[in-house]
Amino acid sequence: MKKVVLILCLIILINILTNVFSNPIVSYFINEFTIDKTGWRLELHPINIFDDSLSLDNCYLTTKMDTAYFINGIYLKSDRYTIITKTELQSQLFIDFIDTLTIYFNENHFADRLYFGIPDFDIPPTPKKGQSICLGIYYNGPWQNHRHYLDNTPTIGIENDTLNAKGYIDGFIKDSLNNPIESVKIIYDYTESPPNIIQPVYVETNSSGYFSLYDFSIYKRLEFQKEGYNAPDTLLQIWPDSTITINIQMHSVVGITEITPSTISSFTLTQNFPNPFNSSTTFIYFLPGNEQVEINIYDEKGELIQKLFNGYQPKGEYKVNWNADNLASGIYFYELKTSSMKISKKCLLLK
């Protein structure tokens, strides 16, 4: 009888954990990468794994044009930062300045991947001399997110830090007559605050139309908001210990439609951004009431590829970051499903 009760308790616990932590915890291995006069160096550090030690025997690295196996006897441990160079491989591995570095475990099992060379969302540029690409993991509500940022002071062999890994964006915002516009919101990120409300992260222009923001050296989308004005979003790469200056012209809007409560009281699923995307993308949805929610990914044939979320959510707005590193290029559909409705939208994955 005690065994039956124990099994039932275990099943209940698993169900609770499944609903609460519906966004699966992703494992990472590639922690830092740099190229200098001695060649390339790769730092491996297993994150979010349950094994204390992982052998790299029969494991290998690939680039767009090459493959090389690790030499025997290398073990990854969660309390150690393992440095890989050409001497830890059984053969030379050619790495280009625009490339995709992937680590595979036994039987072609994908472990982790790093894109670099073309600044884009989640794709850092090729590190310059004295720079490295670092992995940063952060949590936004129930969602686990990651960023690859440039660092001017590499920490190969030790824990990543954020020193010398941020830069400035500043500039002026003016109207078509070159007059400064005050109190323009420059949104450069989003965060989730309880209870599951998406909040923008922004700075505002002063009376001279000037603004300045400081953030990680990653690819950013800037949105400009001011009642009565309009300007397109701006995409750019922030560089560490540097300042990028931009000048934005906002145009007057003839009329603005206020979003009334009745307008936003229905289910909403936004188009993902960016789209097309390379490895990860984001979409936002709104629930007008408490709902049992499913978020699913389907391929072009309509086959279920991935279940991103399945659980209860209260009324509110939600942001989803979907990582499609392990999927091939093509058309996919993301679906929001509740007990009373279903909405799906198409997106394009390009690698």
CATH class of 268-349: mainly beta
- Structure token pair of residue 56: 């790299």
pLDDT of residue 196: 63
pLDDT at 344 over 50: yes
Burial 31-68 (b: 16+ CB within 10 A, else e): bbbbbeeeebbbbbbbbeeeeeebebeebbbbeeeeeb
Q: Where are the domains of the chain?
A: 28-151, 166-252, 268-349
pLDDT at 179 over 90: yes
* Nearest Cα to Cα of residue 325 among 110, 150, 174: 110
Centroid of chain to Cα 262: 33
Cα–Cα distance, 151 to 36 (Å, whole number): 14
* Nearest Cα to Cα of residue 208 among 234, 180, 184: 180
What's the average model confidence in pLDDT over 177-199? Answer: 84
pLDDT digits (tens, 9 = 90+) for 197-228: 778 899 999 999 999 999 999 999 898 988 87
Give the rounded percent of residues in the chain with a pLDDT score beyond 70. Answer: 85
What's the average model confidence in pLDDT over 24-46? Answer: 87
Fold assignment, 166-252: Immunoglobulin-like (2.60.40)
pLDDT at 66 over 50: yes
- Give the number of other Cβ atoms within 10 Å of residue 283's Cβ: 20
pLDDT digits (tens, 9 = 90+) for 80-100: 999 999 999 999 999 998 999
* Strand 132-140 with 143-151, pairing: antiparallel
Look over the chain and give the mean of its residue pLDDT values, rounded to a whole number: 83
Q: Matching CATH topology for 166-252 and 268-349?
A: yes
Cα–Cα distance, 317 to 269 (Å, whole number): 10
- Structure token pair of residue 29: 């291995």
Q: Name the more confident of 197 and 265.
A: 197
